[in-house]
């Protein structure tokens, strides 16, 4: 059985490894977990003892099969709870992350199986992130960062990379959400800022925004 702290480290390592494709450094983990590098060293040594990560001194860490499976299960729980909060309890999509961070650690396989049924086996959470299935399989989705699109290309918003409340509220005030159709009207070479069109309205957005919106191009 894993403690709350251990589960959070596994989740963080999973996300980092996923984003960068490679093994993750001590500092990267410390950064993500908002803790000190020395604390991370302690923990990754413990996790290595438990065979959930492979780790060599000074060489960073990466999840073992077992570690990955635990991490994915936590993410599955997180995303299912998010669906519950939005679909059943009428939360806004920017309000659910913190609560799901707590709920994801509830230990009961039967609970998650029943919750999944109750929600009708959803494929995506309210931010467009795919929900891993019972076996930990995550359906690969072809999605592109808005920042990768060129002038005049368009697509449907299928997810957000960053999901902080502030960013989500930024999107809300501009009526951008999962399913929104977005077209690049203009793109500035110099700083990658864009003018986009969302249902007849045009907005100017910075690179920071376009790098956090996933689209399915048409």
Q: Which of DNA, its own copies, none binds 20 (CB below 5-8 Å, type-dependent)? A: none
Task: Report whether 72 contacts 136 (CB < 8 A).
Answer: yes
Of the candidate residues 3, 118, 137, 202, the single one contacting its own copies (CB under 8 A):
118
Residues in the chain: 218
Q: How far is the CB of 108 from DNA (least distance, A)?
A: 20
Binding mask 57-96 for its own copies (x = CB under 8 A): ----------------------------x--xxxx---x-
Nearer CB in complex with its own copies: 86/145: 86
Sign of the C-alpha dihedral computed for residues 66, 70, 17 and 58 taken in this order: negative
CA pair distance 97, 28, nearest whole angstrom:
21
CA of 193: how far to CAs of 131, 161, 198, 209, in Å? 31, 17, 16, 9
CA pair distance 135, 113, nearest whole angstrom:
12
Token couple for 100: 């799901």
Of the candidate residues 115, 158, 168, 184, the single one contacting its own copies (CB under 8 A):
115
**Span near its own copies by CB under 8 A; candidates 104-112, 136-144, 145-153, 195-203:** 104-112
Binding stretches for its own copies (CB under 8 A): 85, 88-91, 95, 98-99, 102-103, 106-108, 110-111, 114-115, 118
């Amino acid at each position: 059985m894993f403690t709350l702290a251990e589960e959070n480290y596994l989740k963080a390592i999973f996300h980092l490894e996923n984003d960068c494709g490679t093994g993750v450094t001590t500092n990267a983990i410390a950064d993500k977990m908002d803790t000190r590098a020395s604390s991370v060293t302690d923990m990754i040594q413990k996790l290595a003892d438990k065979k959930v990560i492979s780790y060599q001194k000074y060489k960073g860490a990466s999840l073992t099969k077992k570690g990955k499976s635990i991490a994915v299960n936590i993410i599955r729980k997180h995303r299912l709870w998010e669906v519950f909060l939005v679909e059943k309890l009428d939360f806004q999509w920017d309000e659910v992350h913190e609560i799901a961070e707590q709920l994801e650690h509830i230990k009961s396989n039967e609970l998650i199986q029943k919750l999944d049924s109750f929600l009708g086996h959803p494929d995506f959470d309210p931010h467009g992130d795919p929900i891993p299935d019972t076996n930990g399989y995550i359906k690969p989705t072809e999605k592109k960062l808005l920042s990768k699109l060129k002038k005049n290309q368009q697509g449907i918003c299928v997810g957000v990379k960053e999901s902080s409340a502030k960013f989500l509220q930024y999107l809300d005030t501009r009526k951008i959400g999962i399913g929104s159709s977005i077209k690049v009207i203009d793109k500035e070479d110099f700083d990658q800022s864009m003018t986009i069109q969302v249902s007849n309205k045009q907005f100017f957005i910075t690179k920071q925004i376009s790098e956090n919106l996933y689209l399915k191009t048409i």
